[in-house]
Structure 1
Amino acid sequence: MKKRKIPLRKSVVSNEMFPKKELLRITRSKEGVVAIDPSGRMPGRGAYLAIDPKEAQLAWDKKILDRVFETTLSDEFYQELVDYVAHQKARQELFANE
């Protein structure tokens, strides 16, 4: 049987390639609203971030998403992002043992 190609995407923080399922997508809509996209299907410009709390914190410290989306994001958004990534990382570790 033919092996399926795994789609890869680049993290905007570390510039490393990861399988798409291991990344979190963040989108900016045409109206300029930036949001976390857990499904990976929201319309708009997307940027990918590895599900690693250190990487999310680095994105906040260096305001990487501000540059990628050419906008100014609030500290509340970055805090939500760090919390979401930490939660997802904990879920991955919890369910990896099963």
Structure 2
Amino acid sequence: MRQCVGCQEMKSKKEMLRVIKTAEDEIILDTTGRKNGRGAYLCFSKECLLKARKNRGLERSLKTAIPPEVYDSLEKELDELGTK
């Protein structure tokens, strides 16, 4: 079970999206759930990403400041995943 950094709900790994900070300090979506790096989990909803942005849940979990353009790119990637 993992906790969403947006809504704080506990769900299984398969029901969640993993966001990681790589060794190169790059923040990316890990669609496979197997990439190396410090991870945080989000539900597959835009609302949870917006909540995580507002309450700085991703920043706390990944232990780094996240620029606004990274949130924008995560939002676009989340939209693309939702349309598949």
How far did 1:79 drift? Answer: 0.7
Across the aligned residues of Structure 1 and Structure 2, the Cα RMSD in angstroms comes to: 1.6
Asked if 1:32 corresponds to 2:6, the answer is no
Contact 2:39–2:61 (8 Å) recurs in 1: no
What code does the residue aligned with 2:44 have? Answer: I
Q: What stretches of structure 2 of length at least 5 have no aligned partner?
A: none
TM-score by length of 2: 0.83
Q: What are the superposed Cα offsets for residues 23-81 of structure 1, whole Å, 9 maximum, x if unpaired?
A: 11011123432221111111111111000011111112232211211211111110111
Q: What stretches of structure 1 of length at least 5 have no aligned partner?
A: 1-7, 92-98
Percent sequence identity is 31
Task: Look at both structures and tell me which one has the larger radius of gyration over its CA atoms.
Answer: 1
Count residues in correspondence.
84
Where 1:55 maps in the other structure, the secondary structure is helix
| More relative contact order, 1 or 2 (CA 8 Å, 6+ apart) | 2
Where 2:20 maps in the other structure, the secondary structure is strand
